Structure formats: structure tokens, C-alpha cells
Amino acid sequence: MTIPSFPTDNPSAQPSSRQEQGKYRNHAFTPRQGFGTTLRIIWNMTFHKPRATRPTGAIEVQPLTRDALLAAPNNSVWRLGHSTVLLKLRDKFWLTDPVFSERASPVQWVGPKRFHQPPISLEELPPIEAVILSHDHYDHLDHQAILKLAAKTRHFLAPLGVGDTLIKWGIDASKVRQLDWWQGTEVEGIEFIATPSQHFSGRGLFDSNGTLWASWVMIDADTRIFFSGDTGYFDGFKRIGEQYGPFDLTLMETGAYNVDWPHVHMQPEQTLQAHIDLKGRWLLPIHNGTFDLAMHAWYEPFDRILALAWERNVSIATPQMGEAFTLTQPQRGRAWWLDVEPSAYQDQPDMA
């Protein structure tokens, strides 16, 4: 049995998730891809991948140690790769979508392979107060990582159905809290609200949309953080911003986009607009730089979102994997990806 969550202050004002014939659905219309379109996407991803989808040079990370994390100030944030983000709030550690495996795949001999190693191993991580999960795709829910984290993690926060998967894997049910959209729960004085996203779920051929997907609002006194998970752009961002904004930091999906799947992943222009809708102060792009999941150059999401943010005068941070971003003294970081692909920028203006 899962620990029950409590609803938000005004749950009737917002629509919760909805199911049809046992399948979760987005509130916004999301057209289904036909077999022909799916086959074409698979064909292109398999046989027509541009070389630039993977880095030609080594991606350097800033190594982390447990002692360094314990000594770090509160309100520190570290990207560990893809959508895996470590946060330090109230002297405790919180981890989003932990993926530490070599491949984001149901098997480790084939599938998208990491561009870089995590800045810290699972074994070296300090005790985790809560793991916050957005949905069950392999690049967000890593079976082996969850099992290794079980002993050092006090709570697992998940959308409806994803917690059942954890329990099936052997996670103590007393640690699992499952939430519907617009439901919240409190852990060590911090409020977590599962908010809508526009995406889909499934880990196999026959379980599509059997579990819910979500974004997350985190409220620690006067500090507010938003974690997008995976999502297309939709009007839910404005509703979340109106109810819970402004946000000190938004951790926003910016990568693995394509014209063939516009309803479930955002183009960088939409990422920026979503950040604005949320009334965000600092934007930290995630879901990039670790796995080859689309047809665009691996560094393109960084280039595009950085240029757009500068154009709109939006504060943006692009820390290296393992580099601390601190909300009390925010720094934008640098364009570290230029060092990995210098030949791609020989005839372009300096972005550093």
C-alpha cells in the first residue's frame, strides 16, 4: 500500500488526470502517430542518423564527492546527466529521474549510450531524502539505479502507476508516494506537487500509457523550483505559473525534439516560452548532453536555447555536468560544449 498524498489547496480548480479504457490521456489533443510514420521514424533513427548526434570529443564533467556535497551550501543544484538533477535543500538531498546506466535501454548491449560518465557514482552519493520521478521511460526510470538507491533513499515520489512499478521491483511500499496531477505531499517541510505535462508512457510493446506522466513543483518556504520532466508545449504551463509561480529556477526539457513528435517534446522556442509562462527567474536546460535520442546535433539544444534566452533577456544557466548552480548566488556558467566540438564553430561568432 502506498502512503496517501494530500490534495492541493484548491484541487477542484484544476482537472486531474483522465483515463479511457485503462489508458491515461493528455488533456490537450495529442494525435497518435500512424504505423507508417512510426516506421519512418525508426528507419531514419536507425539508418540516417547524422554524425553530429554524438560528440566527436570527450565531454568533461566536474567530479563530485560525498564530502563535497555534504559541505555544499543549501539551495545548490547539480546536473548529473540528461534529466538527472541532484538538489540540496534543508541539508538533505533530492534526486530527479536518476539514470546511471550506460545505456537508456531495456538492455545494456544495445540502445542509446552515454556520452559521459556520471560525475558521481550511486555508491558515493550521500543519503537521498527523496527520488522524484516524472514518468517511466528508460531515459528517466533506470531499473538498476532504483534498486541501488533503495537502501539509501527514504521516499520515492511518483505519478500514478509508476509507484506500482517500483513496488514490483522490490521497493518497500511504505517508501512510495503516488500522486495524480495537482496532488501534493510534504517531505521534511518541503511541498511537492505533481503537475500536468503533455507526454506519454510505456516500457514495452503492450503497456503504452498505462502509467501517468507529470512535471513537479517543489516549494521550500520562499524557494520554488519547477521540474518539467518530458513534455510538449501546452497551456498547462500558464496554469502552473499562475497557481505556483514565480519560480526561482525551472529545470526545463531542452533536447530530443523533432518535427515528427511535436506534441510530446518541446522545440527550444517552446521551452523558453514555457519558462516565461511559469514566471521563471532562472532557466536551467536539461534532457540534453548525455544520450543520442533525436536527429539534431547533440550540441544544438544548447546553442538554440542560449541564443533565444539572450534575445529575450532571460537568465539562463548552462553548468557542466557536476558543476554546482547555487540559487543564492546564481551563475550562468559557460558554453562548455564549444570545447567538445571546436570544428563546428570555426566560422561562427564567439558564444563563450
Rounded Cα distance, 81 and 77, in Å: 12
Distances from the Cα of 132 to the Cαs of 98, 144, 287, in angstroms? 9, 16, 15
Better pLDDT: 256 or 40: 256
Say how many residues make up the chain.
Answer: 352
Q: How confident is the model at residue 44 (pLDDT cuts 50, 70, 90)?
A: low
* Whether 284 contacts 78, CB under 8 Å: no
CB atoms within 10 A of CB 138: 18
Per residue in 48-85, pLDDT tens? Answer: 688 899 999 999 999 999 999 999 999 999 999 999 99
**Residue 31: its pLDDT value, please?**
72
**Residue 126: its pLDDT value, please?**
98
**Residue 343: its pLDDT value, please?**
86
**Residue 10 one-letter amino acid:** N
When pLDDT is averaged across residues 242-261 and rounded to a whole number, the result is 96
How do the domains of the chain map onto residue ranges?
70-345
CATH 1.10.530.10 fits 70-345, yes or no: no
What is the bridge-based pairing of β-strands 176-179 and 153-159? parallel
Distance from CA of residue 351 to its chain's centroid? 25
CB atoms within 10 A of CB 101: 18
Per residue in 92-148, pLDDT tens? Answer: 999 999 999 999 999 999 999 999 999 999 999 999 999 999 999 999 999 999 999
Rounded Cα distance, 161 and 164, in Å: 5
Terminal Cα-to-Cα distance of the chain (whole angstroms) = 51
Is the bond leading into 11 cis (omega within 30 degrees of zero)?
Answer: no
When pLDDT is averaged across residues 254-270 and rounded to a whole number, the result is 95
Share of residues in the chain with pLDDT > 70 (%): 89
Sequence-distant (≥ 6) Cβ neighbours of residue 161 within 8 angstroms: 24, 136, 178, 201, 210, 211, 212
